[in-house]
Amino acid sequence: MKRVGFSTDAIHAAIERENRTVQPVLHDALVNKIKRVSAQWDDAPPLWLTDPALFCDDPQLNHDEHHLLLFLVQRLRSDSTRRIGTRALADRLGLRRERVLAAKNGLITKRRIEWHDQGQQPGSFRVLPWAPAESVPPAGTELQERQRQQQKPSSSKALRSSVPPPGTQERAA
């Protein structure tokens, strides 16, 4: 809504109006927290919220890291945090605890999440902002490639067309 020009007050009014239509109605404290967090977003909600699959589509991530990040992103609160223990993650993902720990450490090292262990309590994590790098568009069809090659003059032709034939400059002068 912010991206298309709605004011913060209009967004807050829409959140309150939407809350009245759901059952059960959310408590005022939770609605206020949603409004506070949404007001902190810049022009658009974060990528993990609008397109979780794209947010997790990072070629630097291995399979377990990708799987763990996607699982975590789908269960985030509106402030991009969540509390969950490594054992619970291993159970829900169907992975051994060691693989979850390795994936978690990989995501921390690659600056995709922050993790705060809480002793015997489940740890809390926060997803860090990330956007896919601008990639070079894939090459088009074979026909488009040929057309592009035909538009580029070969280096010898370009050189010949930019240098006038010998003696023409003297005649013009």
Per residue in 112-123, pLDDT (tens digit) is 999 887 776 778
The domain defined by 46-163 folds into: Arc Repressor Mutant, subunit A (1.10.10)
Question: How many other CB atoms sit within 10 Å of the CB of residue 155?
Answer: 8
pLDDT band at 95 (very low <50, low <70, confident <90, very high): very high
Two tokens, residue 11: 């967004």
Q: Give the tens place of pLDDT for each residue, 53-85.
A: 888 888 999 999 999 999 998 888 767 788 888
pLDDT band, very low/low/confident/very high, at 92 (cuts 50, 70, 90):
very high
Question: Residue 133 pLDDT more than 90?
Answer: no
Q: What is the pLDDT of residue 44?
A: 65
Sequence-distant (6+) residues with CB within 8 A of 67 are 93, 95, 103
> How much of the chain, in percent, has pLDDT values that exceed 70?
69
**SS3 (DSSP) at 115:** strand
- Point out which residues pair with 124 in neighbouring strands: 83, 116
In this prediction, residue 124 carries a pLDDT of 85
0.85 surpassed by pTM:
no
Q: How does residue 101 score in pLDDT terms, banded at 50, 70 and 90?
A: very high
pLDDT digits (tens, 9 = 90+) for 4-39: 667 778 888 888 888 888 888 888 888 888 777 777
Q: Is the pLDDT of residue 99 over 60?
A: yes
Burial class of 73 by CB neighbour count within 10 A (0 to 12, 13 to 18, 19+)? buried
Bigger pLDDT: 152 or 112?
Answer: 112
DSSP SS3 for 68: helix
Q: For residue 136, give the DSSP letter.
A: P
